[in-house]
Amino acid sequence: MNIVITNQALQWFSDEMEVQAGDTIRFYVRYGGSNPFHEGFSLGMSKDEPMNPTVIAKHEGVTFFIEEDDVWFFNNHDLYVDFDQELDELSYDYK
């Protein structure tokens, strides 16, 4: 499993969350919403320090990670994070 972050998504993190090189961003499972695999759950994110990361990706000095407890959510798919200009928000794809 991998995390892929586009340059446009990284810019969103910089603009909206003031993320800069050296910061760590966690993708986690949250209750509510939906995704292609699990109704009633969706993807959340926060600036957080890794405790037991299973998936780690670095992009321009920023570390993105998923903790071991949240890996089930991705159903053995890679996480692709991009920016949707039309909706002015991040978009997620699972491949």
- 40-90 confidence digits (pLDDT tens): 788 999 999 999 999 999 999 999 999 999 999 988 999 999 999 999 999
- 33-52 confidence digits (pLDDT tens): 666 666 678 899 999 999 99
Helix (H) or strand (E) holding 62: strand 62-67
Task: Give the CATH superfamily of 3-94.
Answer: HesB-like domain (2.60.300.12)
pTM for the model stands at 0.92
